[in-house]
Every structure is written in structure tokens, then in C-alpha cells.
């Protein structure tokens, strides 16, 4: 599978090199061509006997075709196992009922967020790719996080040979538990820095460092290659395709849907990585009707998908779904590439507009293509809170704020279609809501929505216990353990200092 820079078709890498490199030097993201994806279209009927591991193997064999079967199997076995995922039969994305629809529980991994699905296996892909190069360089991973990627990456790369990792999180943004998860990280090759600013600052910082000529020189002199654990890395994106396909297979096998019935997926979206993986699953032949893009008050994507105008010139709101507090959704660039027929010139133009003016507009034709597969809604902070409460009271389930944003958007999608007879059958298609985090990760905010008590007076761990009394679901061990863990990282830096910090790390490696 040839992977092209979205900003220059002639910049091509094989999968192993693209995984090592992360981001292209021209700032583009590595992506297959549209027709190269379609060429691997399957008939879902042929996959019905697949379990999660089988489907993972199929997808990795398609997209990472310079890995041999044995390598892929080893990567899967080292990641999707009982040590990492607290699930039955290694089905790491179990489906449960949510009212008349379904919930895909993606939060049973080592850090209780869906990012574990990709970040348990990315280190395996990266080290496997690296070993087969036979080079003697150290890989230095820089990662910007809006809360969940950071811990998942720190956990995945902990003590991985020849790799070190620094995570940047925004001082304004992550939840207490998320911060504590990162600050208590173990491993001799990890570091964590709070950057004064928001997530977009962190993401810009990392992208700037990758494309900085001076830093590149310093890397060469010190035998270091930079890479990324963010969803700009194709090694992050591809593992997420698997659960869309597998959930469809599971729903058919459990007689919840009939073979070839189309279903909708509702995806709480930030950087557009998760939902883009759903789109690729659709291109590959999964019977998907619509991908419902759910945003919180930072509704850049809702506006874009409805109008064709992407405008990041707006205030970034801090919400209780911090992993979606994002104004620059990096993976949208890959969608524009795919839907424009791999038009690298256009993508570069739009991304230059975004960098220079903070705004771009796509043609009506391109917008139409987007709307064939996507619809978009957003949930305000109040609506999110109300949804958590209602879901607890009516459906008997406790969901995290990101999942609540998605569920609220599903309800909006359903009611918007109700007055339109021809669309009515559309809206009755079953929907799967992607549940991207354990409610325990946001225990305080969730508790505030469902309890009459004064929560503000409680500490975070009392919040976990109280939530446990209400849900009766066990507290994930990685979260209850935080209470007694040593805080190892307490550094806060300015944007400019952060670059120097990285340079020093490269020199001292």
C-alpha cells in the first residue's frame, strides 16, 4: 500500500516508513489513494465468522502490507490481550444495548479511553518497522494531548527499547484524573510537560518541531528520528478501522441486524481520527449509512459539514468533554484528500488558507460528497449534562461526557428526520454510539449530573467510590491505583521553552 503525503502525491512512503516518520516533511499526512482503498473492498458476508483478532489481521494485512504475517500476528498478540483489555474473548470493543440503539464500549483498555485500541499496538508496529530497517537510531516520540492520547501513549511506549517519548498537555484543558494519570506515569523513557495554552497550541508545537530544519539537523547529528503517536500517524488510524467492521459482524451474528442492513455510527469527534476510520470501513464495504459527527460547544466540524466553511477563528471553550476541545481537526485533511480524488494541490491550498487565515471553504461539489457519508450535530454543555442524567434515569446506564455528546447528537439526528416521511425509514436504521471513555475517568463531572449531593466538597477518589455505588460497575484498576502512585512529572513550560526542552532531550539522549 503506497502512502502519499496529502499535500504532495509524489511524496510516497511504504507503511513501515510512514509509521516511523509520522508526519510528512511538507506538513501533509500519509494517506492511501481513494482507489487503492476501494481495490480492497470485501463482501461483509465473507467475514461473518471473524473474531476481533481475525478482522484486525485482515485490515493490517491490507494497509500495512510490508509487514509479514508473522510480524502482524506478533503485534496483535502483544497488544490485544488480557493484560491490556479487561474484556471477554479478546473482543476489545464489546457492543451493549443503549435504549433502542447500541453502545460500542471502547474503554476497557489500560487507560480507560478508546485511544488504547490504537496506542497499545502502535508501539509494536513502530518497533517492528524499526527493527527491520536495521538502523541504529533512537526514536523520539512527541505527542500533543487533549487528555487521553497522552496517557495511552505513555502507557503503550513505557520502557519500549530504543524509544523515548514526551507528552505535551495543555495547562488549560485536561481533567484532574487525566492529569494525575500522566503525572504518575512509570517508565525510564517517558516525560510529561504541561504547556501554557490549549490543545491547539500543543498540536501546533509538535507539528512545528517536526518540520523545523534546525531541529532536523540536530536530530541527524544525534542519531535521533522524531515520530508521532498522534492520530496524524497512519499507525494510529488503521487500528481504529477494525472495530467498525467487527461491531457490524457482531450485530449480525447476535441477530440484532440482518446481513447487509445499513447502520449508522455516532462518533464523538475531536481530531477527526476515529470517525475517519469509520469512513474507511465504509469504503471497504461495511454497510454503513451515515457517520454522525458529534461535537461539543467547539462545533467547528458541525459548521463545516453543514456549510463547507471551516473557520477556526473563534473562541475555544473549555468543556467537560475535553478530548473534543479542538479547533483544528487534523485528520479532516485526509478526508479532503480522499474525497477530492487525491487532489494534493487542493489540499495544500486549503491547508495554507487554514494556516494563514484560519479559514477555508470547499466547493459545493466536494461538500456534497462529504454529505453523502456524514451528518453533523453538536451538543452544548447543558445538553451534554442533561443527557448523562437522562441516560442514567431512563436507560439505566452511566456514560461519560464524550459519549453523552454523541448520544445527544443521535437524538437530534433522529428527531430532525421525523417530520420527513421519506427520511423516516433512514432514521430508523439502528445506530451504534461509540463510547470513547469510561465514566470513571470523568467521575466528578458525571456525578454532578446525576447526584443531588454537593460534589464539589469531595476529592476525586471519593467521586470514584460514589459513582461505583450508583453504577455497581467495577472501577477500572488503573484509575483506583492512582491514589497511591508517586507524582513524577510537574514541569510547566511556555510554548517557546518547550522547543528548547525538546532540543535538550535530543542532545542528551
Ligand X SMILES: *Cc1c(COP(=O)(O)O)cnc(C)c1O
User: In this chain, which stretch among 16-24, 272-280, 333-341, 363-371 interacts with ligand X, using CB under 6 A?
Assistant: 272-280
Stretch that binds ligand X, among 2-10, 13-21, 42-50, 266-274 (CB under 6 A): 266-274
The C-alpha atoms of residue 101 and residue 266 are separated, in whole angstroms, by 11
Question: How far is Cα 431 from Cα 290, in angstroms, rounded to an integer?
Answer: 9
Nearer to ligand X, 16 or 173 (CB): 173
Contact, 76 vs 121, CB < 8 A? yes
Show contacts with ligand X in window 55-114 (CB under 6 A).
113
Does 339 interact with ligand X (rule: CB under 6 A)? no
Query: First CA to last CA across the chain, in angstroms?
Result: 33
What is the full DSSP assignment across 213-281?
Answer: HHHHHHHHHTTEEEEE-STTSHHHHTHHHHHHHHHHHHHHHTTSS-TT--EEEEEE-SSSHHHHHHHHH
CB of 135 to ligand X, least distance (A): 30
CB of 172 to ligand X, least distance (A): 17
Decide whether 148 or 198 has the Cβ nearer to ligand X.
148
Beta bridge partners of 5: 8, 30
Q: How is the chain split among helix, strand and coil, in percent rounded to 5?
A: 50, 15, 35
Q: Smallest gap, in angstroms, from Cβ of residue 443 to ligand X?
A: 14
Q: Which is nearer to ligand X, 152 or 447 (CB)?
A: 152
Name the helix (H) or strand (E) containing 195.
strand 190-195
Q: Which three cell numbers stand for residue 127?
A: 518497533
Whether 205 contacts 499, CB under 8 Å? yes
- Compute CA 411 distance to the chain's CA centroid, rounded to the nearest angstrom: 23
Cβ of residue 266: shortest distance to ligand X, in angstroms?
A: 12
Closest-CA residue to 379 (of 271, 299, 292, 291): 299
Residues 112-131, interacting with ligand X (CB under 6 A)? 113, 115
Residue tagged 514526551 (cell numbers): 166
- Contact flag: residue 4 with ligand X (CB under 6 A): no
Could you say which DSSP state residue 437 is in? B
Inter-residue contact 37 to 13 (CB < 8 Å): no
CB of 55 to ligand X, least distance (A): 19
Instruction: Using the minimum distance from each CB to ligand X, give the nearer residue, 65 or 460.
Output: 460
Rule CB under 6 A: which of 217-256 touch ligand X? 231
Select the residue interacting with ligand X from 436, 449, 463, 479 (CB under 6 A): 436
For residue 336, state whether it binds ligand X (rule: CB under 6 A).
no
Identified binder of ligand X from the candidate list 150, 173, 268, 308, rule CB under 6 A: 268
Report CA 494 to chain centroid distance, whole Å.
26
User: Nine-digit cell at 131?
Assistant: 527493527
Smallest gap from Cβ 111 to ligand X, in A, equals 9
Instruction: For residue 294, state whether it binds ligand X (rule: CB under 6 A).
Output: no
State the residue for C-alpha cell 476501494. Answer: 38
Which of residues 270 and 476 has its CB atom nearest to ligand X in the complex?
270
Q: Please give the Cα distance from 451 to 463 (Å, whole number).
A: 11
Nearest distance, CB of residue 269 and ligand X, angstroms? 4
Handedness of CA 207, 213, 219, 225 (dihedral sign): positive
Applying CB under 6 A, does 322 fall inside the site for ligand X?
A: no
Query: CB under 6 A: which stretch of 245-253, 262-270, 336-344, 444-452 binds ligand X?
Result: 262-270
Interface with ligand X in residues 356-415 (CB under 6 A): 402
For ligand X (CB under 6 A), the number of binding residues is 16
CB of 330: closest distance to ligand X in angstroms?
8
Q: Cβ of residue 237: shortest distance to ligand X, in angstroms?
A: 9
> In the set 143, 175, 271, 340, which binds ligand X (CB under 6 A)?
271
Looking at the Cβ atoms of 193 and 404, the one nearer to ligand X is: 404
Our CB check for ligand X shows the closer of 231 and 387 to be 231
Closest alpha carbon to 482 in 74, 159, 178, 120: 178
Binders of ligand X among residues 142 to 201 (CB under 6 A) are 148
Closest approach of ligand X to the CB of residue 324, in Å: 5
Least separation in angstroms between CB 268 and ligand X? 4
Sorted by sequence, the CB contacts under 8 Å of residue 208 that are 6+ apart come out as 499
Which grid cell sits at 51?
A: 473474531
Residues 446-505 binding ligand X (CB under 6 A) are none
Question: What are the residues binding ligand X (CB under 6 A)?
Answer: 113, 115, 148, 231, 268-274, 323-324, 402, 436-437
Amino acid at each position: 500500500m503506497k502512502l502519499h503525503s496529502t499535500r504532495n502525491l509524489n511524496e510516497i512512503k511504504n507503511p513501515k516508513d510512514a509509521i516511523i516518520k509520522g508526519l510528512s516533511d511538507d506538513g501533509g499526512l500519509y494517506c492511501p489513494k481513494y482507489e487503492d482503498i476501494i481495490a480492497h473492498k470485501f463482501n461483509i458476508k465473507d467475514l461473518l465468522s471473524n473474531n476481533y483478532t481475525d478482522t484486525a489481521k485482515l485490515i493490517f494485512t491490507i494497509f500495512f502490507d510490508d509487514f509479514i504475517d508473522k510480524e502482524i500476528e506478533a503485534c496483535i498478540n502483544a497488544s490485544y490481550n488480557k493484560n491490556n483489555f479487561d474484556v471477554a474473548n479478546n473482543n476489545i470493543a464489546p457492543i451493549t444495548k443503549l435504549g433502542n440503539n447500541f453502545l460500542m464500549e471502547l474503554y476497557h483498555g489500560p487507560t480507560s479511553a478508546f485511544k488504547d485500541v490504537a496506542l497499545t499496538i502502535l508501539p509494536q508496529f513502530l518497533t517492528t518497522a524499526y527493527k527491520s530497517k536495521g538502523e541504529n537510531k533512537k526514536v523520539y516520540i512527541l505527542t500533543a494531548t487533549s487528555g487521553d492520547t497522552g496517557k495511552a501513549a505513555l502507557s503503550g511506549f513505557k520502557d519500549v527499547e530504543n524509544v523515548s517519548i514526551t507528552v505535551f498537555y495543555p495547562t488549560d484543558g485536561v481533567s484532574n484524573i487525566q492529569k494525575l494519570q500522566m503525572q504518575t506515569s512509570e517508565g525510564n523513557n517517558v516525560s510529561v510537560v504541561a504547556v501554557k495554552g490549549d490543545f491547539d497550541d500543543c498540536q501546533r508545537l509538535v507539528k512545528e518541531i517536526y518540520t523545523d530544519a534546525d531541529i532536523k539537523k540536530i536530530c541527524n547529528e544525534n542519531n535521533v528520528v522524531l515520530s508521532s503517536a498522534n492520530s496524524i500517524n497512519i499507525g494510529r488510524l488503521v487500528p481504529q478501522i477494525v472495530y467498525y467492521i467487527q461491531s457490524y459482524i457482531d450485530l449480525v451474528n447476535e441477530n440484532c441486524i440482518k446481513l447487509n442492513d445499513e447502520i449508522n455510527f455516532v462518533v464523538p469527534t475531536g481530531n477527526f481520527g476515529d470517525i475517519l476510520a469509520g469512513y474507511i470501513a465504509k469504503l471497504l464495504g461495511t454497510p454503513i449509512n451515515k457517520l454522525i459527527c458529534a461535537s461539543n460547544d467547539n462545533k467547528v466540524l458541525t459548521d463545516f459539514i453543514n456549510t463547507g466553511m471551516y473557520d477556526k477563528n473563534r473562541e475555544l471553550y473549555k468543556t467537560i468533554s475535553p478530548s473534543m476541545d479542538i479547533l483544528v481537526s487534523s485528520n479532516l485533511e485526509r478526508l479532503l484528500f480522499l474525497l477530492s480524488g487525491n487532489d494534493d494541490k487542493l489540499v495544500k491550498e486549503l491547508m495554507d488558507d487554514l494556516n494563514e487565515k484560519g479559514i477555508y471553504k470547499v466547493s459545493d461539489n466536494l461538500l456534497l460528497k462529504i454529505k453523502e457519508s456524514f451528518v453533523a450535530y453538536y451538543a452544548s454543555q447543558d445538553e451534554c449534562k442533561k443527557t448523562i442524567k437522562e441516560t442514567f434515569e431512563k436507560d439505566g446506564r452511566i456514560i461519560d461526557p464524550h459519549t453523552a455528546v454523541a448520544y445527544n447528537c443521535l437524538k437530534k439526528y433522529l428527531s430532525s428526520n421525523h417530520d420527513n416521511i421519506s427520511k423516516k425509514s433512514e432514521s430508523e436504521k439502528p445506530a451504534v454510539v461509540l463510547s470513547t471513555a469510561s465514566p470513571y475517568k470523568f467521575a466528578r463531572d458525571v456525578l454532578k449530573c446525576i447526584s443531588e449531593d454537593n460534589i464539589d466538597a469531595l476529592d476525586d477518589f471519593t467521586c470514584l467510590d460514589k459513582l461505583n455505588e450508583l453504577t455497581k460497575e467495577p472501577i477500572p484498576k488503573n484509575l483506583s491505583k492512582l491514589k497511591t502512585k508517586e507524582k513524577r512529572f510537574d514541569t510547566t513550560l511556555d510554548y517557546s521553552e518547550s522547543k528548547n526542552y525538546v532540543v535538550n532531550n535530543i542532545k542528551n539522549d
